[in-house]
Structure 1
Amino acid sequence: MQGRIERLLARLAQEKVDAFLVMRPENRFYLSGFTGSAGALVVTPRQVYFMADFRYFEQAREQCSLCQVVGFKESLYDALAEKLPQWGVSRLGCEGDFLTYKQVVTLQEKLEKIPVTPLYGLVEELRQVKDPGEIELLSRAVALADRAFEHILDYLKPGVTEWDVAVELECFMRRLGARKNAFDTIVASGPRGALPHGVASHRVICEGDLVTMDFGCLYRGYNSDLTRTVVVGSPHPRQKEIYDLVLAAQRAALAAVRAGVKACEVDRAAREVIASAGYGENFGHSTGHGVGLAVHEDPSVSKKNETVLQPGMVITVEPGIYLPGWGGVRIEDMVVVEEQGCRILTRAPKDPLPVVPV
């Protein structure tokens, strides 16, 4: 934690503020270890303060060993107005991409003579590169999703609904130790597979359907994100053709991942494979994204993002093809960026097209 605070303080010095107010839950946890749902961190060069109300005061004292915990009774803003001058703060930075306009206005009104400067992406930038402990927790979250995929292959059959599949995946991961889902589980079967974010419906899965499942879990603060497309029964030639094309695109992108490469270059590697086969218009989303304390975080692996990948970044690689009225295919792995390539965390089988026997 101390190293993270020191890196943040170096950035704050560049922004010419005396302190930084942290309220985004993921950032609060990253800098303090606090797992509760409310509270604020005030980072200054001399001390880090954690401000907690009655509900979380004792929890903050237990979890935030590097912070001075300060309790307040009613209004966080009133407490900040009282404490910041005592802490020598004359210019306060805040999370401009998290606080609402109303919160910023209220904060400024309460602080009166202390100017409030919205800042953007300071902690999120630090979070992009994971340390070994974070990578270990991400690996465990991925392992839970891998096991859930193995389990669901025995559960899938004609007659179950997408909703049934989603519930089974979620309950299975919870039984293994996941705290909750990383996001609303996507189960898109048959023609609904053309919906990239086709959250599970009550559609009944039929023999011959392609089924795309995109799911993950939260484990000790860190997320997993896995997509696999399977076929229920024997695949038709076109299903295999589209699947093999997406798999080739994913392999091309995975081969492009390494430290020093721009995120957009990884996206281009996948996109060129799909476009050269005539399906460029049917791949309309980015090739991936960062994963960590949030399931979607920087860096985006997209056409326009020129962020240079660094060792320790954890990203997804997930190209897809979506054909309205027919269905779709997406394949997604989580990988760790390394100097000479990437280490694939996801172990769920994908080659050849997974078949659910009927």
Structure 2
Amino acid sequence: MTEPVDELIDDLIGDLPAIDHADRARRICDAADGTTLYTDLTDVRWLTGFNGSNGWAIARCDELIVGTDGRYGDKARAETAGTGATVIVEQQAAKLHQRLVETLGDQPIGLDASSVPHATWQRLAADVDLVDRPSPVKLARRTKDPAEVARIDAAARIADAALADVEANLCGMTELDVRAELEHSMIRLGADDRSYDTIVASGPDHGARPHHGASRRTIIEGDTVIIDVGALVDGYHSDMTRSWVMGEATAEQREIYALVVAAQQAGLDATHPGARASDIDAACREVFDDAGYLDWYIHGTGHGVGLDIHETPFHSPVSTDSILADYVVTVEPGLYRGGFGGFRIEDLLLVTTPNTPTDPGYRVLTHSPKRELN
């Protein structure tokens, strides 16, 4: 890095637009079918702005209520200011539960059963008339507004810059050293944190594990290397994977890498508003199947990204999801085999409405080069 770090941070993040939680709360409350309880903390954050490790939100036609414990009282009031939310704070968990029950009353309460542990549902159902209802917030979260896209875009730029700092010196470093350098660089460049445990998978064994993590193994000549890295900016994630061969690649490594590049391009070409997530997955699999390598492909092709690193939609053969404009999704095919290693290439896309016949229907948010093998 030659620029001062403060200038780099300004270039990468800039002035992020404010998130209008008041508008979100209005839209969700106006559309509420009776009373809905949100216990998923990511849903609570998206709806109200409150970001804590314990809390809930209640939305009904004319009211938004947030509950939390004493650790977060001031934080909850500050973060929900402007939404019109009433904030309930209790020191004891039993008392907070009692206040929740009292606030909900005896009418039917909508709660997405998939968002709560079974034990939590049972405990609430003993005191409240719960009705399993899909979360309107989870559905709304799939579509990203400009303020959300700005944060994801900034996170992607930070990860790009961090990888550019590190990739030239991979050979001779341990996987853990590479991970530490990447994560330290992202923080210096303005990220709040990493998006997830950065994956650095090298060599014939570790490289064959899509979610290997990182170890004290030293990266050496001849290794395949996979790095899966993302940054976190104001709660929003980025996600990207690139792959390399250290030194001169073998004919087999060139063949497998070229297949992954071709499969990823096929997945990108299949991504547009109205596409089925299963068709994006199928486009990648077809490339591998035609080449006789389908059994080397051992995971899905992508997923949504936002306040959670893995969100709906999910690109897989059994997915029933569709892709709409303003979704942010990954396309990330890969091939892996013990004794060989592996390759994965992943980009983060903002799905867009095409304006011309040649418009692909997406904008790529991750810009690290997909290196040609030596």
TM-score between the two structures when normalised by the length of structure 1: 0.91
Q: Which amino acid aligns with 2:137?
A: V
- The residue aligned with 1:124 is 138
Q: Which amino acid aligns with 1:23?
A: T
What is the CA–CA distance in structure 1 between the aligned matches of 2:136 and 2:208, rounded to whole Å?
37
> Contact between 2:222 and 2:248, CA under 8 Å: does it hold in 1?
yes
Matched, 1:73 2:91: yes
Tell me by how many angstroms 1:351 deviates: 4.0
Matched, 1:244 2:258: yes
> Contact between 1:256 and 1:269, CA under 8 Å: does it hold in 2?
yes
What is the CA–CA distance in structure 2 between the aligned matches of 1:348 and 1:121, rounded to whole Å?
36
Q: Identify which range, 120-129 or 235-244, moves more after superposition.
A: 120-129
- The residue aligned with 1:41 is 57
Q: Which amino acid aligns with 1:82?
A: E
Residue number among 165, 177, 185 corresponding to 2:178 in the alignment: 165
1:31-73 CA deviation, whole Å, 9 max, x = no partner? 0111222221111112101112221111111110211112223
- The residue aligned with 2:370 is 350
SS of alignment partner, residue 323 of structure 2: coil
> Contact between 2:240 and 2:366, CA under 8 Å: does it hold in 1?
yes
Matched, 1:96 2:113: yes
Tell me by how many angstroms 1:304 deviates: 2.0
Q: CA RMSD in A?
A: 1.7
What is the CA–CA distance in structure 2 between the aligned matches of 1:2 and 1:305, rounded to whole Å?
33
SS of alignment partner, residue 177 of structure 1: coil
Unaligned runs of 5+ residues in structure 1 are none
Tell me by how many angstroms 1:10 deviates: 6.4
> Contact between 2:111 and 2:135, CA under 8 Å: does it hold in 1?
no
- The residue aligned with 1:223 is 237
Matched, 1:137 2:151: yes
1:67-118 CA deviation, whole Å, 9 max, x = no partner? 1112223122111123233xxx611122312322222222222x2xx41123
- The residue aligned with 2:13 is none
Q: Which amino acid aligns with 1:68?
A: T
What is the CA–CA distance in structure 1 between the aligned matches of 2:282 and 2:345, rounded to whole Å?
16
1:306-335 CA deviation, whole Å, 9 max, x = no partner? 322111000000010112211110000000
- Once the two structures are superposed, the pairs formed by residues 140-219 of structure 1 within 5 Å of their partners are 140-158=154-172, 160-191=173-204, 192-219=206-233
What is the CA–CA distance in structure 2 between the aligned matches of 1:177 and 1:95, rounded to whole Å?
35
Tell me by how many angstroms 1:203 deviates: 1.4
SS of alignment partner, residue 349 of structure 2: strand
TM-score between the two structures when normalised by the length of structure 2: 0.87
- The residue aligned with 1:287 is 301
SS of alignment partner, residue 194 of structure 1: coil
> Contact between 1:97 and 1:119, CA under 8 Å: does it hold in 2?
no
| Number of residue pairs aligned between Structure 1 and Structure 2 | 343
Tell me by how many angstroms 1:3 deviates: 4.0
SS of alignment partner, residue 51 of structure 1: strand
Q: Identify which range, 194-203 or 219-228, moves more after superposition.
A: 194-203
> Contact between 1:208 and 1:234, CA under 8 Å: does it hold in 2?
yes
> Contact between 2:244 and 2:371, CA under 8 Å: does it hold in 1?
no
After TM superposition, where is structure 1 displaced by more than 4 Å over at least 4 residues in a row?
9-12
Unaligned runs of 5+ residues in structure 2 are 1-20, 355-360
Q: Identify which range, 167-176 or 115-124, moves more after superposition.
A: 115-124
What is the CA–CA distance in structure 1 between the aligned matches of 2:291 and 2:31, rounded to whole Å?
46
Tell me by how many angstroms 1:164 deviates: 1.1
Cα distance change, pair 321–10 in 1 and its aligned pair in 2 (3 A): farther
- The residue aligned with 1:22 is 38
> Contact between 2:275 and 2:323, CA under 8 Å: does it hold in 1?
yes
- Identical counterparts, % of pairs: 38
Q: Which amino acid aligns with 1:256?
A: A
